[in-house]
Amino acid sequence: MAADSWAGLADRFADDAYASVKGRVRTHVLHRQLSEHLPSPPATVLDVGGGAGHQSFPLAEAGYAVTLLDPSPAMLDKARQRLEGLSREARARVTLVEAGGENADEAVDGRRFAAVLCHGVLGYLVRPEPLLDQLCRCTAAGGVVSVMTGNARAMAVRPALERRWDDALASFDAREETGVLGVPTRADTVEELGDLLRGRGVEPVRWYGVWLFVDWLELSGAELDPSDEEQVAAAAAVELEAGRRDPYRQLSRVFHLVGRKRAS
């Protein structure tokens, strides 16, 4: 049995990262962006690489039938812990499946979903194509595919804000870096990812930035207080607007691309 590569990172990722201002803004902004495209509940949602359910559990609370698929037992344990905080009705709408995204179709027994989410996963893969094959295959005709990944056009932002000037200069045309969790990651462009989806029967509908200012502030050393609810809400409102507009969305270190699967 393969070792769980996320076992040592589960606490830091599921507890610490999502509890930060940056993590809370990410969840809020993605949720609002998704709501513009999702069918009404009780539509089915597959969250591939869904981790501890931060993105899909709010959908279960809203009435969607959610299947969360993740290869990491440690992350699924976190998801089970977080399930206890949901209402009884929402818990009944959630199914957890231990499997890698490259085996998603088999793991869900060939089911087709009204929406398939894959947020923050492609960047950990050497090549995105095998996973994209599965995402598009698992989506019903007319269904939504939602992908969030690193923005290759903004690779110099992080080293520059951390004052690593030589690294920043070398990053303008880079695709790879060591992420904030200490794990190697790679980035994509909106255009390339859109072409890959089109080739798999999914037409890109819209793309967004996810966070900009809170990311820059954190990387530059500013301390943001996640307990200041008024400030978190204000920051989220600004990030939501920035994610819709040029040139701001182009400068986000991650982007969110939403597509719709063609009928045939």
How far apart CA 1 and CA 22 sit, in angstroms, is 34
pLDDT score for 1: 42
> What percent of the chain shows pLDDT beyond 70?
94
- Of 201, 200, 234, whose CA–CA distance to 217 is shortest? 234
pLDDT score for 13: 67
- Nearest-Å Rg of the Cα atoms of the chain is 18
pLDDT score for 6: 64
Q: Is 29 exposed, middle or buried (0-12, 13-18, 19+ CB in 10 A)?
A: buried
* CA torsion angle 8 161 187 19 (round to 10): 40
* Residues facing 47 on adjacent strands: 68, 117
In contact, 4 and 73? CB cutoff 8 Å:
yes
pTM over 0.85: yes
CA 139 to chain centre: 17
In contact, 57 and 86? CB cutoff 8 Å:
yes
| CA atoms within 13 A of residue 229's CA, in its CB half-sphere | 0
Mean pLDDT for each consecutive 10-residue tract of the chain (264 residues)?
65 74 93 97 97 96 98 94 96 97 97 97 94 98 97 94 94 86 88 98 98 89 91 96 97 96 88
Domains of the chain: 10-261 (3.40.50.150)
Task: Give the amino acid at 119.
Answer: H
